[in-house]
Amino acid sequence: MERTDTELVRLTRQGDRGAFQELVERHQRKVYAVLLGMLHDHDAAWETSQETFIEALCCLDRFKGEASFSTWLYRIAVNVAIDYQRHERHPPRVGVADTTVAAQSREIGERVCAAIAQLTPEHRAAILLREVEGLSYEEISRVMECAKGTVMSRLHYARKKLQAQLQDCL
């Protein structure tokens, strides 16, 4: 029987390293996908995904269980990506992220990625969490630590900007 995230968190807090490894294995692909969508760089996404899990382990005592573990983990990942871009002065690279492009052709896929890369980190995170990860507005608001209305506004702005930039592709 598979253990729940809540049970694995409890075991990790008690010193069970195997429990944390199970959490990492369970969530690493989705965390990496979110980071790749935000950073458009495989190496940066790998580096920041490692930072995300290190931060999660160090701050596990702050996980209250009010939201799901994955929502809490996504919040850490988004923060790590934003910090990476701001402090390391790495602008988002334009490229085709395998997990985010569902376009029919490479050219359209590259244009979509380029348009997403031009969004602010907050708008990019909102659009990727909604459209790629399929999170609800409520889940995104918990991940991004903002009101549901703010999430809706960010998504609206991001979609309008993407629509304007991709008008001739539609």
- The answer to whether 5 and 68 have CB atoms below 8 angstroms apart is yes
31 pLDDT higher than 50: yes
47 pLDDT higher than 50: yes
% residues pLDDT > 90 (the chain): 44
Alpha carbon distance 100, 118 (integer Å):
15
Alpha carbon distance 83, 106 (integer Å):
30
- The answer to whether 123 and 158 have CB atoms below 8 angstroms apart is yes
The whole domain housing 160 covers 5-169
Number of domains in the chain: 1
Give me the pLDDT at residue 99, please: 44
Neighbours of 151 (CB within 10 A): 24
% residues pLDDT > 70 (the chain): 86
30 pLDDT higher than 60: yes
- 117-158, pLDDT tens digit by residue? 888 989 998 988 888 788 889 989 988 889 999 999 999 999
Give me the pLDDT at residue 128, please: 87
Q: What is the mean pLDDT of residues 27-38?
A: 92
Q: Tell me the average pLDDT of the chain.
A: 84
- 69-109, pLDDT tens digit by residue? 999 999 999 999 988 988 765 555 555 444 444 444 567 66
Neighbours of 88 (CB within 10 A): 11
What single letter denotes the amino acid at residue 170?
A: L
CATH number at residue 74: 1.10.1740.10
147 Cβ partners below 8 Å, 6+ apart?
141
